[in-house]
Structure 1
């Protein structure tokens, strides 16, 4: 039984296969296959979602599956049923459960403690693994490779970048530099894992808490919203701390060929200016579309496992 609760649940073959399949789906090529024919996918979101929920719902339908949707008040978890019992019951009716919660991944691990139903983490407090897969699919689609790419991330060390750090550092030659506000950096456990993987795979990972001496000649510049979905900041002065980390056009002076990434939703005038988000370097809405293609690849992997490497091809965005 294959679960995706953390990027760490994926072996190297799995990671590369999902990215390759997402890239292929993004070209419009499905070879007429319907790998979810006869399957039922549960979609449970206890927090708001536009892209991820739609991506997995539409992706499941496009691959031949059927969906059952649950809102935040629909499951008996709200009346005290244990996560383990909920997982045992759902696994007797569903083939895959895609879930977004506000908690750590322990609840999803409890749902995964059975051998009938795959569980997919569509975002929790710690990590957003399907976003990282979307990001890699977007880079692969745009550049035709991930190895050797240079990506500068500016913003909070949130669940999006924790997953990206676990994923991108597994590609040789890739360089990921984080610039996070003081006190809002990547959690230690993810930073340590990223540093270990960079040493192992021959990639590069760094994090600083200032905007001085930014690296030049980046391939991509990435940010996320300052208020991560479902969270609030205790410090009333947090906006002053974040203000220097806004993404503006000046960042393209030293990286004129860089594309701009954003996981959306975006708040123009906060983490990014409208000039950047709506400008010629932005591929944020291509990235949003690729969330569906990546979701399809994840669902296929859950049900069929990794596709053989020889069956895939690199794609470059036209």
Structure 2
């Protein structure tokens, strides 16, 4: 069973399949119980509302049994190595959905056992299942991902890195990243996205100010403090203030997206988040549909 640790684990066909399949589920397609003889582990070290519920409900809807682990449940807390933990779990689980919020190397260690599929439900570096949800939402709303123009506003966090890796694979896409100075996308991910964009005919551009914003189809932001992280600069809010999404920043864009949870009055105003162009809560529901697509893909 294949693992999904990063968007780069997916070839172009797999990426497009998962986006389209998530959109099919979102439109009401019926799922077969392809996991009826499988056991899925749900391991979350950090808080989660949407991702944990989406994968738990998704596994159950596909016929699996689930075993849930909280942050204090595994012997890693007593010094067992990640590799030994994974070796033990792989004899009992078919899939492990894991949110570590730690380095990507941890998830690589989980997947090294080669028997149990591992799904990255958010690491320090990348949130690939969020990107699949985002593209599923765009596909569902616009009918295709190709050719879309997206303005991402805010911190270059793990959601942004996955979004850049995914969108840069679709022809004609423009991804404009507007991030505060010192809080941009990790150069490793920006470079990977730029390389993908050259092959696909997409465009990825990052700027650190809000001047001369492009005309876009989607304005997207995330909360300013990523789960489990803190900023070393006590005055960081001053740098982020110009990047709040309000009606002026939204402009004529037909759609606003947010991965949630949101903090009204910080990264986005209430009038935008709760306004008629916001599809943030449809996006949240699509986490469930996308999770089913991912789990179905793991069981192929």
TM-score, reference length from structure 2: 0.99
Aligned to 2:261: 265
Counterparts of residues 37-48 of structure 1 (less than 5 Å): 37-48=36-47
Counterparts of residues 177-192 of structure 1 (less than 5 Å): 177-192=176-191
Q: Secondary structure at the match of 2:123?
A: coil
CA distance in 1, matches of 2:294, 2:272: 30
Instruction: Tell me by how many angstroms 1:113 deviates.
Output: 1.0
CA distance in 2, matches of 1:257, 1:131: 21
Instruction: Tell me by how many angstroms 1:257 deviates.
Output: 4.2
CA distance in 2, matches of 1:205, 1:225: 21
Q: Alignment length, in residue pairs?
A: 300
Does the aligned pair in 1 maintain the 2:217–2:255 contact within 8 Å?
yes
CA distance in 2, matches of 1:21, 1:91: 27
CA distance in 2, matches of 1:260, 1:205: 19
1:211-246 Cα shifts (integer Å, max 9, x gaps): 000002x11000000000100000011000000000
Q: Secondary structure at the match of 2:297?
A: helix
CA distance in 2, matches of 1:115, 1:148: 37
Does the aligned pair in 1 maintain the 2:168–2:193 contact within 8 Å?
yes
Counterparts of residues 1-318 of structure 1 (less than 5 Å): 1-30=1-30, 33-216=32-215, 218-253=216-251, 256-304=252-300
Q: Secondary structure at the match of 2:43?
A: strand
TM-score, reference length from structure 1: 0.93
Question: RMSD value over aligned CA atoms?
Answer: 0.8
CA distance in 1, matches of 2:225, 2:177: 17
CA distance in 1, matches of 2:144, 2:269: 28
CA distance in 2, matches of 1:193, 1:157: 14
Consecutive unaligned residues of structure 2, counting only runs of 5 or more, are none
Instruction: Tell me by how many angstroms 1:74 deviates.
Output: 0.1
Structure 1 segments of 4 or more deviating over 6 A?
none
Q: Secondary structure at the match of 1:151?
A: strand
Q: Secondary structure at the match of 1:68?
A: strand
CA distance in 1, matches of 2:133, 2:118: 18
Does the aligned pair in 1 maintain the 2:129–2:291 contact within 8 Å?
yes
Greater RCO, CA 8 A, separation 6+:
1
